[in-house]
Amino acid sequence: MISYCTGLFTSAIVYRQYFHRLRYFPGPWEAKITKLWHVWKCRGGQNHLFIDELHHKYGSIIRTGPEELTIIDPSAPRVLDGPGNTCEKAVWYDFLLPEVAVNTTRSKKHHDIRRRIWDKGFSAKALSAYERRVINYTEALTSQIDQISREGEAVVVTDWFYWYAFDVIGDVAFSKSFNMLRDKQWHFAVKLLRRAMSLLGPFSPVPWLAQIAFHFFPWAYLIRDWFKMLRWCKQRMEERIHSTMDKSDVAHWLIEASPKNGSLTSDQQWLNGDAIAILIAGSDTVASTLVFTMFEIACNQSRQNLLFHELQDLDIYNREKLQHCDYLNAIINETLRLHPAVPTGGYRQSPPGGLIVNGTYIPGNVTIVSPRYSLGRLGSCYEQPRSWIPERWTTKKEMVKDATAFSPFSIGRYSCVGKSLAMMELRFVISMLVKRFRIDISDMDKGDRLFFDLRDQFTAAPGGLELRFHPRT
């Protein structure tokens, strides 16, 4: 048995190193042998930094696994997700099975059917129904920050922005807020979700290992939290199915579409999966973007003043007017470029016949990922790529050399269905806080924890950040 295993592993290593169809692509020798090496490297949850380091060492196309390529080229997003692409979602997206959601199904047919239902929940009419709720939570957030500031205390905005984002999505998704802004503490279900999400950091490179762990070790600490979180989401959807409320929310559209086809029971796995998907995609992304935006605004007083002057005489409760605030939108875009809400996620599988990326042939049935964190810092696409300069989207457009690399909400059929809601939240919070307060970095916090503790767990999980808010006279 020992000699058999030795021969098996030796032959696999030799084949993957010297005879595999991806052997000509550069990358660490360990990556050519096994993805477990990648798990070890990103065990601390900072895969975005590790991949960026590989990019600077090996170039724009890196072999990061026996059957995986990481491509950091501005044309990659269009090739992988743009119109007419023939790629499919990779096996990574099976992590929710047996539940399945609109953003995890690998079937284009099923995705398109489900996406049409989701689109109703984020239509212009639906967004108008959500608007007052978003404003109410934004006012509650502003009021809490004002109270803390008047007591002379710094505000741990990381907590407050997460509480805000989850309260909003709980209400918009299920008409049931987590009430964390009111209670000033984490809801137990959100704590479960955030702990469970930490699994996606080290397990993302090897989704099959996660499935093994889920199957054989459901009692283990973080895995136990994962299943508790899944059960809680299922219970919320079950409650919403049997609720008689008429209040408009996203779940209303998902549930309504099932009985029309006589399929509410058979759609249960879709409804459960969608419940999980909307909580994750609709909260973490908004919260992390708010944290990084406020950090940059606090560090750039002159640009904060420019934004204040743009908002000074504006009705910031008018969503349509905020949509046309050039500098506000530039600030959001620049934050999404430099600090993407999904740093390295978005695994795709090349079609059987392969594809071409910037003149390079990629063989078929290869896992491909094009990380936004590194794409947003390409010197070939942006001048001073590691600096936060909102003007590159307004008065200094020459600083954007190639805008095709910028796709914070993805593109094509897999583009973010909740983009309009997310932008509404971002615009309301940023405009309300900047118009009401002058914002500074706390003397005790220069942003070190924000980046040192930043974790890439599919969505970005920033570290703690303390800011001081000074009421404007």
Here the tokens at position 449 are 């924890």
- 57: helix, strand or coil: helix
d(CA 361, CA 373): 24
Task: Return d(Cα 108, Cα 359) in angstroms, integer.
Answer: 27
- Listed residue (418, 456, 423) closest to 103, CA to CA: 418
From the list 147, 236, 155, 148, the residue with the least C-alpha distance to 190 is: 236
Q: Work out the angle between the directed axes of helices 268-281 and 250-260 (0-180°, nearest 10).
A: 160
* Measured distance CA(293)–CA(426) in Å, rounded: 9
Q: Is 87 annotated as a binding residue?
A: no
Distance of CA 473 to the CA centre of its chain: 37
Nearest to 201 by CA among 461, 376, 414, 448: 461
* Cα separation, 10 vs 48, whole angstroms: 31
Cis omega before residue 98 (within 30°)?
A: yes
Dihedral of the CA atoms 138, 275, 174, 139 (nearest 10)? 0
Asked if residue 40 lies in contact with residue 201, where contact means CB atoms within 8 angstroms, the answer is no
Pairwise CA distance, residues 87 & 95, whole Å: 19
Closest to 343 in 3D by CA, of 289, 382, 293, 392: 289
Contacts of 251 (CB under 8 A, 6+ apart): 173, 174, 175, 237, 240, 275
Q: How far apart are the first and last CA of the chain?
A: 79
Q: Which residues are annotated as a binding site for heme?
A: 416
**Known binding-site residue numbers:** 416
